[in-house]
Amino acid sequence: MSTLSIVIPAYNEESAIQAVLDRMRAIGPALREAGFAEWEVIVVDDGSRDRTADIVASYPEVRLIRHPVNRGYGAALKTGFAHARGEWLAFLDADATYPPEALPELYRVACLSGADLVVGSRMGRADSEMPVVRRIGNWGFAFLLRMLGGVAVSDSASGMRLLRREILERLYPLPDGLNFTPAMSARAIYEGVRMKEIPIPYRERLGQSKLHPLRDGVRFLHAIVWTVMTYNPARVFGMAGFGLAWLSLALGASAVLWPGPTGWPFPRLFAAVVLAAIGLHLFAVGTLFNYIVSLFHKRPIRQSLFGRPLFRRPLEHRFLPMGLLSVAIGVGLYGWAVWARLTAPPFPAPWFVPAVSALTVLMGMDLITAGLLVRALAELSQRELRIQQDLEARPAITPSVEPVPQPISVSR
């Protein structure tokens, strides 16, 4: 039998908190039947200016913890977790949107699947009362997390979850605001936390919502992208570079296929080359970041862009030759342009070939520099392993008996 701590963050929720606590009282038998020997309810009043704390205080079985000032949704949850005594931690909002009755089912799913984190998904039921704007935003964040994290997620920001206390150390640090939950989802994916989602009914809140779609949407986006950046930056930089590369191809193809009435559209062609150079630069920077992140986390290098390895051979073996080839092409291109008299009138765009040549040389130098840095970082990432291997090295054959020293004869 396990123990459970249920944390409810509350800020100005006098119109809903009583209904939530009454429902919490009613699920006691279901929690015991699910397998909990003991449970506790902790309400963290996050600096409310209404009667929220007074209502909670009228429930003697509920532990009330008060913040003197409003510190944020995530801060309230972290305070509750710090005071919790249970082996399992659960949390849900105080606005009566999430069903406390689903907690026993979340625990049963955790036991059957071996999950460390079970999320109640608001997106899996047709009767969900989530507003359309919030539903669209939540779908967008879930799609973004799926693209960047490589794991299918339906509700990245759900405020009803059950987790093992022992995984908190792997999930922290987490933000203090409403972006606590999307950041938790992203970190759980990259920390290898076993996560499971189950659909739950969701009701429109009682009282005024604290969520500001635009402001908090930006925070959610920042939480997801920045968390991914701290684990697999090549995913973010690589996708940005990949998108610019496709845009470069489309722009270059449009210039070739539809040049326009004035002949070759050199500005469009040059823009395509610039986009390709920026995309390649972003990809190289992302690769360098991955090695730095790997050194910090002491984990193998992540070299995946869309869930699969990028290359069969290490990247440091490719950047150097690609860079040297790019420099050679750039120098050769400029030499050919001078020989063919394309750098002066009457050529219609004498600036074009020198500019492209310079960009090609710069791309090459960028790749050469990245290749050298990646090779150095690769050596550093393997340093501890190689030290251990050298310390554990033994002679191939060790004599079982120490040789007896023989007297040295000196001939006179």
CB 117 within 8 A of CB 161: yes
CA atoms within 13 A on the CB side of 409: 1
Averaged pLDDT for residues 355-369 = 90
Question: Cα–Cα distance between 208 and 364 in angstroms, integer?
Answer: 57
| Whole-Å CA distances, 163 to 4, 6, 196, 288 | 10, 11, 10, 34
CA atoms within 13 A on the CB side of 57: 7
| Whole-Å CA distances, 359 to 242, 277, 293 | 18, 7, 29
Q: Which tokens is 159 given?
A: 């405020």
Q: Is the pLDDT of residue 328 over 80?
A: yes
> In this structure, what is the dihedral angle of CA atoms 193, 228, 124, 157, given to the nearest 10 degrees?
100
> In this structure, what is the dihedral angle of CA atoms 303, 305, 311, 315, given to the nearest 10 degrees?
-50
Q: Is the pLDDT of residue 144 over 50?
A: yes
CB 304 within 8 A of CB 231: no
Residues 63-118 have pLDDT tens digits of 999 999 999 999 999 999 999 999 999 999 998 889 999 999 999 999 999 999 99
- DSSP 8-class letter at 340: T
Residues 153-204 have pLDDT tens digits of 888 889 999 999 999 999 999 999 989 999 999 999 988 899 999 999 887 7
Is residue 348 reached through a cis peptide bond, with omega within 30 degrees of 0 on the bond before it?
no
pLDDT at res. 335:
92
State the CB neighbour count (10 A cutoff) for residue 340: 10
The pTM (predicted TM-score) of the whole model is 0.75
| Whole-Å CA distances, 162 to 220, 223, 246 | 21, 21, 42
